[in-house]
Amino acid sequence: MNKDVIYYPRKSVEKAVSAYETPFFLYEEKRLRENCRRFKNAFDKYFDDFWPLFAVKANPNPEILKIIIDEGFAMDASSEAEVWLCEKLGVGGMYTGNYTTAKTLAYAKDRDFILNLDDITNLEALEEIGVPETLSFRINPGVGNATMENNVFAGPDAKYGVPFEKAVSAYKKAKEMGVKKFGIHMMTGSNVPIDEKDYFALIVEKLFNIVAEVKKETGIEIEIMNIGGGFGVPYRPEENSLDMEELAQSVRVVFDEQCKKYDLKEPRLMAEPGRIIAADAGWLVGLVVVIKDSYKKFVGIDASANDMPRPSIYGAYHYVSVLKKIPGENETVSIVGSICENNDQFAKNRQLPKCEVGDIVLIHNSGGHAFSMGHNYNGKPRHAEYLIADNGEIRQIRRAETIEDLYKTVKL
C-alpha cells in the first residue's frame, strides 16, 4: 500500500465537513509545499541554475499558485486567462500554446512570458507582433509516453510540437528574424509511467541531438532546455511513487555526456510539472446521498463528473476512501454522481466499506487536473475549494458557483 496514495488529513476533513456544505475540494498546504520542495531540491542538487515552472492548467487557484510561487516556481501558461492570472500574481515564465493566434502570442509576449512556439508557421505571427529577444520551440521528438493513450503528447499521432526533422529550419528562420536567445522544449506525455525510470533521460538525449544539430547548422547555442511536465503520480495504492532524486541524477548524466560529446555550453534546465506538485495535495469531498441496489450497487454522492471529470473523460482511476466511525464489512460498489451520463462514475466495482447515506467519501489525487477540468454540463455549478493552511486553519479559497453565475452571460 503506497502511503502517498491512501493518505488524507482525517481530522481536517471531518472539521471541514462539519463546517461547510459538501461537496468541495480540500487542499493541504503542507503537502503542496513538500511536493514543491521534493521536486525542486532533487534538480537543485544536480543543476546549479534549475528553473522550475508550475503548469497553471493543473490547478489555477490563485491561493494555490501563491504557495507554489513562494516555493520558488515561475509559471507555465497555456492560455490568455492563465497569463492574465500570472500577471495579477506578479509572475512570468514560459508560454506554451498550440494552434495559437497571433493575438494570444502577443498577449503572452507583452507579459513577461518566453514564447514557446508549437510550429514553424507561428514565426509568421512574430512578423506581425514583433520578434522577441528570447524564443523557444516545442519539439515533437517522435516518441511519447503516458499511462493513458489520450495523454501521449508526442509521436506521429500527436498534434503538438515541431517535428524534429523541421527543428533546424525553425531555429534558422528565427535567427534570421532577429531572435537572440533560444530555448528548446518537450512535453511528450502526461503521467509518464513511474516504472519507466529512464524515460526522461532518453528524451533529454534526443533533445540534445537536436541541440547539437542546430548548433552545427546554424551556429545557435541553445540556452534553455525545458523538459516539460508529465512526471508520473501513483493513483493506485499498489503503484510506487517516483524517485525524483534518481530521475534528476539520470538527467544530469545525460547532460554531462551530451555536452561533452557535442562540445556544447550547458543549457539552463527548466521543467514544468503540474500533477506531481498538486495532485496528491487535494481531495474531492462528497457526501453519500442515495444508495441504489440495482443490477449492481450504486452509491450516489453529491459531487459529479462536472467537479472532477478525469474518470469520465479518460476512465482514470482515483483511489476512494469512505470515512466510517467504526470500520465494518466491505462490499463491491460503484461511486457515482448525478449527471445524465453513464460515465459519471468516480469508481467502478470497487471494494469499499459498506456505505450509508450521510457517509463522507473522498476522491483522492484531486489536487491537479481536477477542479481545473471541471465544467457546467447539466447546469451543474462547480463547487467550493478550501485550503488547510500550515497552521491547521481551514479557509475558503474559492466560493461555489451559484445558479445565477451560470446564466450571467445570457439575457433573461
Ligand X SMILES: Cc1ncc(COP(=O)(O)O)c(C=O)c1O
Active site residues: 340
Segment near ligand X (CB under 6 A), from 33-41, 267-275, 287-295, 311-319?
267-275
Least distance in angstroms from the C-beta of 146 to ligand X: 8
Query: Rounded to an integer, what distance in angstroms lies between the CA atom of residue 178 and that of residue 182?
Result: 11
Which residues between 149 and 208 bind ligand X (CB under 6 A)?
187, 190-191
Binding mask 24-63 for ligand X (x = CB under 6 A): -------------------------------x-xx-----
Out of 93, 161, 228, 282, name the contact with ligand X by CB under 6 A. 228
Cβ-defined contacts of 47-51 (< 8 Å, 24+): 47/248, 47/252, 47/255, 47/269, 49/268, 49/269, 50/268, 50/269, 50/270, 50/271, 51/224, 51/268, 51/269, 51/270, 51/271
Note whether 282 binds ligand X by CB under 6 A.
Answer: no
Residue whose cell numbers read 451560470: 406
CA dist 122 and 70 (Å) reads 33
Smallest gap from residue 261 Cβ to ligand X (A):
28
Q: Would you count residue 273 as binding ligand X (CB under 6 A)? A: yes
Task: Quote the least distance from Cβ 343 to ligand X, whole Å.
Answer: 21
Q: Is 96 in the site for ligand X (CB under 6 A)?
A: yes
x/- contact string, 105-144, with ligand X (CB under 6 A)? ----------------------------------------
Interface with ligand X (CB under 6 A), residue total 18
Position 234 contacts ligand X (CB under 6 A): no
Helices 102-109, 122-129: axis angle to 10 degrees equals: 60
- How far apart are alpha carbons 392 and 394 in whole angstroms? 6
The residue whose grid cell reads 544536480 is: 46
Between 233 and 355, name the residue whose CB sits nearer to ligand X.
Answer: 233
Q: Is 76 in the site for ligand X (CB under 6 A)?
A: yes
| Among candidate residues 378, 352, 350, 382, the one with its CA nearest the CA of residue 366 | 382
Q: Is 147 in the site for ligand X (CB under 6 A)?
A: no
Contact call for residues 123 and 102 (beta carbons, < 8 A): no
Q: Cβ closer to ligand X: 55 or 222?
A: 55
Peptide bond into 156 cis (omega under 30): no
Q: SS3 string of 263-323?
A: CCCCCEEEECCCHHHHHHHEEEEEEEEEEEECCCEEEEECCCCCCCCHHHHHCCCCCEEEE
Q: What minimum distance in Å lies between the beta carbon of 140 and ligand X? A: 12
- Chain centre distance of CA 386: 19
Return the range that interacts with ligand X (CB under 6 A); candidates 61-69, 223-231, 329-337, 349-357. Answer: 223-231
Quote the CA–CA distance of 29 and 35 in Å, as a whole number.
Answer: 10
**Which residue, 191 or 304, is less far from ligand X as judged by CB?**
191
The DSSP output letter for 397 is: E
The correct pick among 92, 161, 229, 286 for binding ligand X (CB under 6 A) is 229
For ligand X, give the closer residue by CB, 22 or 78.
Answer: 78
DSSP conformation class of 152: B
**From 67-75, 82-90, 126-134, 225-233, span contacting ligand X (CB under 6 A):** 225-233
Stretch touching ligand X by CB under 6 A, among 22-30, 171-179, 228-236, 342-350: 228-236
Burial zone of 248 (CB within 10 Å; 0-12 exposed, 13-18 middle, 19+ buried): buried
Site for ligand X, rule CB under 6 A:
55, 57-58, 76, 96, 187, 190-191, 228-231, 272-276, 368
